[in-house]
């Protein structure tokens, strides 16, 4: 591509940075082809006699024919997002549903309503909905459409139409029973490799997450010390006429270092920490998806074993086995397609995140 060659030519007027190079090779997101745009913004506190909670405005713009209008505006609280996630998992057990931010933070309930926490959660909820909107299958889920369009009372009414308690208990019992059976006998090699990959990925991403938080804490401690250190030199200069200019110069230098460190911390908190933590949550989700695939496979294996031991009812068993074989094949195909898509997205996210951190560090040391 000649235009790419021109951009990459070593011209002093066009500085080349790692992220600018990556951006030239970024996967086509097909933004011109997108027909669903979602924004999560305007957090609002609600205080009742029973509880205090935050709602977020969800604005949807679309050109899809199945929507009655081209624009919707609703307010949703965190519990509504949880409901949507559970409905997507229920409808698509072997698809990779994007993670939601955790309900609570480690430092306690008090900070749950701080501006910083609310903004961090808003960004995560915005990303959650847009990842669903960009997914080739999840984006057409009926519960997702209702979440985006229904008013609060309509959504509340729709939630009550879900499966009853006995039905949910039955699903839980089946899941526990299949998990107790142990390892799946006929698991295809591909899914064993996926399982091994995720075990290693989970260890590495959790370690990276801990290291990143430790680096951020060290940066913050360093920043706080410098903030106290600068004014001391300014005060000192008032009582030392001979070296007053030098002391003021040092104070000014420390102040500039403070500002540079603050920008570096902002880069870490914006480009690295959220991405790493999102993939910590993804690693848990992927392990759950693989277990659910194994449960479907285990159900088929148990029926095949039962058929081998039964002399009668062979026709009935054969019909059930045929249905289960179809179910396993659908589950396998869904997971294989989603796995490739997830890995591509993950590699892009990691590459852009670490490149941003590297550029941030370069700017910091230059300053």
Residue 314 CB neighbours (<10 A)? 10
Q: Note the pLDDT tens digit of each residue in 49-72.
A: 888 889 999 999 999 999 999 999
In a domain, 54, yes or no: yes
Residue 247 lies in a domain: yes
Q: What is the pTM of this model?
A: 0.78
Distances (CA, A) of 43 to 30, 53, 198, 259, 319: 30, 10, 35, 29, 53
In a shared domain, residues 131 and 213: no
pLDDT, residue 354, reads 95
Say if residue 138 is in the same domain as residue 198: no
Residues 266 and 118 in one domain: no
Q: Let me know whether 222 and 298 are in one domain.
A: yes
d(CA 95, CA 89): 8
Q: What is the pLDDT of residues 236-291, one digit of tens each?
A: 999 988 999 999 999 999 999 999 999 999 999 988 999 999 999 999 999 999 99
Asked if the structure places residue 199 within a domain, the reply is: yes
Is residue 36 within 8 A of residue 133, CB to CB? The reply is yes
pLDDT at 177: 45
Q: Which of 113, 142, 157 is the last residue of a domain?
A: 157
Where is the domain boundary, 120, 140, 157?
157
How many helices and strands (H and E) does the chain possess?
Answer: 11, 3
Residue-level pLDDT at 173 = 42
Same domain, 146 and 189: no
Q: Which domain holds residue 116?
A: 35-157
Residue 174, domain member (yes or no): no
Q: Select from 361, 342, 188 the least CA-distant residue to 260.
A: 361
CATH assignment of the domain containing 143: 3.30.1520.10
Tell me: do 238 and 344 sit in the same domain.
yes
- Is 114 in the same domain as 188? no
Measured CA to CA, the distance from residue 283 to residue 280 in angstroms comes to: 5
- Residue 6 covered by a domain: no
Answer whether residue 112 is part of any domain: yes
Query: What CATH number is attached to the domain comprising 341?
Result: 1.20.1270.60
Q: What is the pLDDT of residue 113?
A: 67
pLDDT value of position 32: 54
- The whole-angstrom distance between residue 100's C-alpha and the CA centroid of its chain comes to 6
| Per-residue model confidence (pLDDT) at position 230 | 87
Q: Kindly calculate the radius of gyration of the chain based on its CA atoms and give it in whole angstroms.
A: 27
Is residue 15 assigned to a domain?
A: no
Q: Which residues of the chain have pLDDT under 70?
A: 1-32, 104-113, 162-183, 308-317
What pLDDT, on the 0 to 100 scale, is given for residue 8? 39
Say how far apart CA 295 and CA 205 lie, in whole Å: 26
- Domain count for the chain, please give it: 2
Q: What is the DSSP letter of 162?
A: S
In a domain? residue 1? no
284 & 210 share domain: yes
Look at residue 7 in the predicted model and tell me its pLDDT.
38
């Amino acid at each position: 591509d000649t235009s790419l060659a021109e951009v990459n030519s070593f011209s002093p007027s066009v500085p080349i940075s790692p992220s600018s190079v990556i951006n030239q090779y970024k996967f086509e997101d097909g933004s011109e082809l997108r027909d669903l745009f979602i924004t999560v913004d305007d957090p609002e506190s609600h205080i009742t006699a029973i509880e205090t909670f935050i709602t977020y405005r969800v604005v949807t713009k679309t050109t899809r024919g199945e929507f009655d209008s081209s624009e919707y505006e609703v307010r949703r609280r965190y519990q509504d997002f949880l409901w949507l996630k559970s409905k997507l998992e229920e409808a698509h057990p072997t698809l990779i549903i994007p993670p939601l931010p955790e309900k609570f933070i480690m430092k306690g309930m008090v900070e749950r309503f701080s501006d910083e926490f609310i903004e961090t959660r808003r960004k995560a909820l915005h990303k959650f909905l847009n990842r669903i909107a960009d997914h080739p299958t999840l984006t057409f889920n009926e519960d997702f459409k209702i979440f985006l369009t229904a008013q609060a009372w309509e959504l509340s009414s729709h939630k009550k139409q879900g499966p009853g308690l006995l039905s949910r208990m039955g699903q839980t019992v089946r899941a526990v029973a299949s998990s107790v059976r142990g390892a799946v006998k006929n698991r295809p090699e591909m899914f064993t490799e996926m399982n091994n990959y995720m075990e290693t990925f989970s260890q590495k991403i959790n370690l990276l997450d801990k290291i990143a938080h430790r680096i951020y804490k060290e940066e913050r401690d360093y920043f706080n010390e410098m903030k106290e250190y600068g004014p001391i030199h300014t005060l000192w200069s008032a009582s030392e006429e001979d070296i007053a200019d030098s002391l003021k110069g040092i104070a000014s230098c420390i102040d500039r270092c403070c500002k540079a460190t603050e920008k570096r911390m902002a880069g870490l908190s914006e480009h690295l920490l959220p991405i790493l933590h999102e993939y910590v949550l993804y690693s848990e989700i992927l392990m759950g998806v693989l277990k659910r695939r194994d449960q479907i496979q285990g159900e088929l294996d148990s029926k095949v074993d039962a058929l081998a031991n039964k002399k009668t009812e062979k026709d009935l068993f054969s019909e059930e086995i045929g249905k289960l074989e179809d179910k396993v094949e659908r589950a396998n195909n869904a997971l294989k397609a989603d796995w490739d898509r997830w890995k591509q997205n993950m590699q892009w996210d990691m590459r852009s995140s670490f490149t941003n951190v590297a550029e941030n560090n370069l700017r910091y040391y230059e300053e």
